Chain A
Amino acid sequence: MNPMNPLHIENTRRSFLGTSIAAGLALPTAFSLLSARAHAQDAKSAAPKLKIAVVGCGGRGTGAMFNAIDAGKTSGYTIEVVALGDLFAERVERANAGLVQAGIREVSAQFLFTGFDAYKRVCETDCDVIILATPPGFRSIHFAAAVEAKKHIFTEKPVAVDGPGVRRFLAAAAKSKELGLKVVAGTQRRHEQSYIEAMERIHRGDIGKVVAARCYWNMGSLWNVSPEATKTEVENQVRNWLYHSWLSGDHIVEQHVHQLDVMQWVMQADPVLVRGVGGRQSRTDAKLYGHIFDHFGLEYVYPGDRFVLSMCRQQDGTDGKVEEIISGSEGMAELNSGVANLTGPKAWKFNGKQTNPYLQEHVDLQNAIRTSSPLNEGEQVAKSTLVAIMGRMAAYSGKDVTWEQALTSDEVLMPEAVEFGPRPEAPVAIPGKGAST
């Protein structure tokens, strides 16, 4: 094996598969390949068409659009992008320009929608699938609208930032099931072969009874956008959305939800309560970093005397660690993107073919649509989101938070309607001082 040989890369190593953060420009070669793929698809005139639309054309939403286009090659669909929506015109234009650059038919001008209501216009089109990839605060509202419009949905994670948002999402998810809609979430580890195989082994008892687990997303800080005096506070906060809990839920919700979702997958249950600590030491400039924390350390108590240690931080110059470690009565499992090692009497190491999970999640969605197979991850991702939200609530308040308290919480971070205008910066939460947002 020569993993430095590009032909072997996908079989071997830790890919650092991430979240929703834009960064830089593409290699031109990527376009030429995409273009070739698109033309190959056009040539297959017999291939059925699947019409997709995007709400939220940032780096991740546009990336997901190309993942969906690419997935058609495997699912057998010719993918047509029929509508693009975003709060900001330049995002929509950039996504459309990306299509042109890739040699794919662009979206006609009357189907490019901007503003806070862009999602409504997208839902009114004849698209089959909607990709939801705005900042998370908007998600549950957009998801509910997409379900009302009877669209299949790819929803990025997380799907809410507060208890009311989770409830709205759960209600819509239940309805989407009744309607037979397919829903896939951007918790892409669920579509990653190393995780799928490891989880099968863990659940059948290869490391014995699961007694505890640890999960980490420790890294440096992410991008930020400086506010501009000519823009309203709402616009400045949306453009710098990571740092405002009404939009992102804080980094434990926006990013660490990936690991907490794996914990849910391992435990096959919801946590009873969470307690923990958090704070803000290295990102203290409210102008650049809003009011969110830069570290959390939490203990989740699961039924059956099991517990999960959850740790996440975004502090520059610190050690990175993004993985999950599961302790069983007879062994352990170490999981990471492309990596799965089990120890104990039934030791095992993943050595299979690792596919790109960002692509695979769209392949799985499209296959489910094509074959009318059940696939709906709505409830699952809403619960994982609530796990993250209750962790934030516990760290912000300094109080133990139960699952029921989080689920029934009437604390609203995300207003039902948003428009450009003033929005004073929220204070940084101080444990023990009352605020839990």
Chain B
Amino acid sequence: MTMKSHSNALRADSVGGVLLLVLSAHLFGAAQSAAPVVAPSTASGAFKVSLQGWTGELEFVPFTAADGSTKFVSTIEIPWDLFDVFVFALDDKFATDASKAVTKPTKPYVAADRGFGHKGFPAISLSHKAATQCAAWIAAKASIGARLPTDAEWKLICAQAKIPADAIEEFAWTNENSPDTTHKCGKKKADALGCFDLYGNAGEWVNDAKNPRMMGGSFQDARTAVGCASELTPSEDWNSSDPQFPKSIWWLADGPFCGFRVVSDSVPVKGT
């Protein structure tokens, strides 16, 4: 039996107006106050972003895109405490015209975290549309080019992550080490890019102009099934037990494995 305790209360709106964090000022100079941004945290080009209304930081690390340019990927799957700020508008007092313009999901009609855990755990049960909109909201809040990766980008990221095939359990929550639940983001080893949970834990939505996909496998999948080749096309079975008509376009009643991470085409805009 899994007896889970949830002792971490969310305090997503307790940050006050400030934020700003870290950084080695050599790229951007002194941190700007009152800006929902941050700056590079390492010489490698990685940077962290704070979002007003959320107490955490989202770190991005560089990867090499197909055209040889440098893009950035969030090191973790987007956690509930960040998604809550988006869906429940917990950032009301910090909302900007741009962030308000992003269409938000309806409120979930049940506990979408399924009791797996909340603060620090990957947001799940999300439709591709919900993930897409949250990425747009992050972009608006942080003045970065945040969005879902394309499936080609996700595969490039995965290849550059170089997760060793003989040590997957050190990098991934899978059916063998976590059959019943997701885990907090970033509790397994970081891969070669500095990302966590690319394999397993929550599956990850990606874009394709016409065909959304779910990549990487999840905690429900066998060790042999997670990885860069794990790619699913969404099915209506993922929401078959939504008892409403019309069914929700935001929440997947049968999709406890559906989460996401974001990529950014750019570093934060200075001073925004």
Where the two chains meet, the residues of A that have a C-beta atom closer than 8 Å to any C-beta of B are 1-7, 9-10, 12-27, 29-30, 33, 59-60, 62-67, 95, 98, 188, 217-223, 316-323, 325, 332, 334, 336, 339, 341-343, 356-358
Complex Cα distance, B246 from A26, in Å, reads: 5
Cross-chain contact B254 with A221 (CB below 8 angstroms): no
14 new A-B contacts at CB < 8 Å, known A1-B222, A18-B110 = A14-B114, A15-B253, A16-B112, A18-B242, A18-B253, A30-B247, A59-B245, A222-B107, A223-B107, A316-B88, A322-B110, A322-B115, A323-B115, A341-B2
Complex Cα distance, B4 from A341, in Å, reads: 13
B151 at the interface (CB under 8 A from A): no
Cross-chain contact B245 with A66 (CB below 8 angstroms): yes
Closest to A356 in B: B241
Cross-chain contact B108 with A10 (CB below 8 angstroms): no
Count chain B CB atoms within 10 A of each CB in A24, A66, A223 and give the residue with the most: A24
- How distant is B12 from chain A, measured CB to nearest CB, in Å? 5
Stretch at the interface among B43-51, B165-173, B184-192, B213-221: B213-221
Complex Cα distance, B247 from A49, in Å, reads: 27
Quick one: CB contact mask for B109-137 with A, threshold 8 Å, 1 for yes?
11111110111000001000000000000
B interface residue count range (under 10 / 10 to 19 / 20 to 34 / 35 or more): 35 or more
Where the two chains meet, the residues of B that have a C-beta atom closer than 8 Å to any C-beta of A are 1-3, 6, 8-10, 12-13, 81, 84, 88, 90, 105-115, 117-119, 125, 175, 180, 203, 214, 217-218, 220-222, 225, 230, 232, 235-251, 253-254, 256-257
CB-defined contacts of B110 to chain A, threshold 8 Å? 16-19, 219, 322
Cross-chain contact B221 with A2 (CB below 8 angstroms): yes
- How distant is B188 from chain A, measured CB to nearest CB, in Å? 18
Cross-chain contact A13 with B247 (CB below 8 angstroms): no
Complex Cα distance, B125 from A316, in Å, reads: 17
Complex Cα distance, B109 from A322, in Å, reads: 12
> Can you list 11 A-B pairs with a CB-CB distance of less than 8 A?
A2-B220, A6-B237, A19-B243, A25-B247, A26-B247, A62-B244, A67-B243, A95-B245, A316-B84, A318-B118, A320-B111
CB-defined contacts of A317 to chain B, threshold 8 Å? 10, 12-13, 81, 84, 88, 90
Cross-chain contact A23 with B244 (CB below 8 angstroms): yes
Cross-chain contact A222 with B109 (CB below 8 angstroms): yes
Closest to A66 in B: B245
Closest to B224 in A: A2
- How distant is B59 from chain A, measured CB to nearest CB, in Å? 22
- Inter-chain contact count A-B, CB under 8 Å? 193
Closest to A336 in B: B115
Complex Cα distance, B249 from A326, in Å, reads: 35
CB-defined contacts of B1 to chain A, threshold 8 Å? 332, 334, 341-343
Q: Give the residue of B113, B203, B214, B230 whose beta carbon is less than 8 angstroms from that of A320.
A: B113
Cross-chain contact A17 with B107 (CB below 8 angstroms): no
Cross-chain contact B250 with A18 (CB below 8 angstroms): no
Cross-chain contact B90 with A24 (CB below 8 angstroms): no
Cross-chain contact B254 with A13 (CB below 8 angstroms): yes
Q: Give the residue of B6, B115, B119, B217 whose beta carbon is less than 8 angstroms from that of A4.
A: B217
- How distant is B29 from chain A, measured CB to nearest CB, in Å? 35
Cross-chain contact A16 with B125 (CB below 8 angstroms): yes
Ranked nearest first, the 10 interchain pairs of A and B with the lowest CB-CB distance are: A320-B111, A26-B246, A18-B110, A6-B235, A3-B220, A21-B109, A59-B244, A62-B245, A319-B6, A23-B106
Closest to B6 in A: A319
Complex Cα distance, B237 from A9, in Å, reads: 7
Cross-chain contact A15 with B10 (CB below 8 angstroms): no
Complex Cα distance, B174 from A1, in Å, reads: 12
- How distant is A20 from chain B, measured CB to nearest CB, in Å? 8
Closest to A216 in B: B115
Complex Cα distance, B224 from A4, in Å, reads: 13
CB-defined contacts of A323 to chain B, threshold 8 Å? 115
Complex Cα distance, B253 from A119, in Å, reads: 31
CB-defined contacts of B106 to chain A, threshold 8 Å? 23-24, 223
CB-defined contacts of B218 to chain A, threshold 8 Å? 3-4
Cross-chain contact A4 with B214 (CB below 8 angstroms): yes
Complex Cα distance, B245 from A65, in Å, reads: 9
Cross-chain contact A319 with B10 (CB below 8 angstroms): yes
Cross-chain contact B111 with A16 (CB below 8 angstroms): yes
- How distant is B213 from chain A, measured CB to nearest CB, in Å? 12
Report if A4-B203 is in contact (Cβ < 8 Å); known contacts: A317-B88, A317-B90, A358-B241: yes
Closest to A342 in B: B1
Complex Cα distance, B238 from A6, in Å, reads: 7
Cross-chain contact B247 with A2 (CB below 8 angstroms): no
CB-defined contacts of A336 to chain B, threshold 8 Å? 114-115
